[in-house]
């Protein structure tokens, strides 16, 4: 399996459990690793034979911007489902960063891998 990755894809969202978080959008950063095969694209040198990461990044961005979840875990699971279902990705590693969530840390986040190893 090959991996296509996207690093530090950013979008703003309402996310959090505190009153102040429910009124001000916060920046979310997403790192993705997507399991796929690049063999056909490499053989044919044709964009139609590879993963459309621009289309995926626009979908992820739109989902984040429209969301209003309380937990980053919920946002991460929703993103994973969309990516796997809509883009036919058999395996992914998704890291979601909530930037500036703690005053003494750059970010906090969650990392999920789907499907889970057996």
Catalytically active residues are 98
The 10 Å Cβ neighbour count of residue 21 is 15
Q: Among 25, 91, 86, which Cα is nearest to 57's?
A: 86
- 113 near 95, Cβ under 8 Å? no
Residue 14, phi-psi category: left (phi > 0), alpha (psi -120 to 50), beta (remainder): beta
CA atoms of 16 and 33, how far apart (whole Å): 25
């Amino acid at each position: 399996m090959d991996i296509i990755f996207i690093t530090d894809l950013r979008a703003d969202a309402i996310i959090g459990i505190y009153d102040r978080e429910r009124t001000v959008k916060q920046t979310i950063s997403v790192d993705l690793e997507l399991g796929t095969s690049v063999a056909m694209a490499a053989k044919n040198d044709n964009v139609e034979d590879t993963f459309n990461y621009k289309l995926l990044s626009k979908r992820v961005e739109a989902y984040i911007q429209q969301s209003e979840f309380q937990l980053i875990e919920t946002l991460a699971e929703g993103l994973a489902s969309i990516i796997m279902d809509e883009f036919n990705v058999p395996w992914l590693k998704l890291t979601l960063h909530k930037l500036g969530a703690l005053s003494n840390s750059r970010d906090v986040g969650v990392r999920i891998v789907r499907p889970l190893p057996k």
